[in-house]
Structure 1
């Protein structure tokens, strides 16, 4: 026998915000789907009915319902993903471009990838990426 669904309610300000999200033409589809999930749950639909109507899996409905309950509307955005962070910030990119266009190396008549990497203290791959 299935457990009864727990009641779900949105705060009035969150209800207005989520409805506003769905009217936006530039909203990411993932956020739009999450807003639809919560609005349908708030209308009294069961998680199973929501998953059937939106053609998504029930665990997806449970995931976003739980995230909303724990963190509110801010919890609907994606969490940071694992992986290697960007190594070059805007200031390092600017430094490489400034060296390239405004200075001449002492050892040569023009910049090579290896020479720029040495001066900027980055890898040759990173210099190639900036120059591309």
Structure 2
């Protein structure tokens, strides 16, 4: 039983030159040079299993990058954007912390501590520490 047919990788002379150049660059990220090697081997007509065995990666990895290269060309070399965790502290809250730190003092002390500011603003002390560090406050 045959599996799904892999996309044929066809390289223009310019694309081949670019990929070979990336493989030979000393300062190229390892992930980029590995992908370039994958595309060069795929362009030679090797199957994903053979490419994976030569490069020491899983055949699904080769299939994923082969598919991206067939769809997007050279632009398919880079990773897609990953958004990460959404922010939980708004700009208004950051502004409030900075303004309170610079313009007010607590009732029972001469200056704000991280924990007293955290209790006043109702944010965690680590969040206050990050804000103060980012803006050079103490």
Structure-1-length-normalised TM-score? 0.68
- Cα 1:18–1:122 change in 2 (3 A) is farther
Give CA-to-partner distance per residue, 1:7-32, whole Å, 9 cap, x none: 32123332222222222223222222
Structure 2: distance between partners of 1:88 and 1:11: 48
SS at match of 1:14: helix
Gaps of 5+ in 1: none
CA deviation map 1:54-109 (0-9, x unaligned): 122221111111011112222221223354135679xx69x95x986xx4634342
Instruction: State whether residues 104 and 111 of structure 1, in contact with CA within 8 Å, keep that contact through their aligned partners in structure 2.
Output: no
Structure-1 separation of matches of 2:73 and 2:87: 29
Q: Which residue matches 1:36?
A: 37
* Residue of structure 2 equivalent to 1:125: 126
- The answer as to 2:12 corresponding to 1:8 is no
Q: Establish whether residue 53 from structure 1 lines up as the match of residue 79 from structure 2.
A: no
Ranked by relative contact order (alpha carbons within 8 Å, sequence separation 6 or more), the top structure is 2
Structure 2 stretches of 5 or more lacking a match? 134-138
Report the Cα distance in structure 2 between the residues aligned to 1:49 and 1:122, rounded to whole angstroms.
Answer: 54
- TM-score of the two chains, using structure 2 as the length reference: 0.65
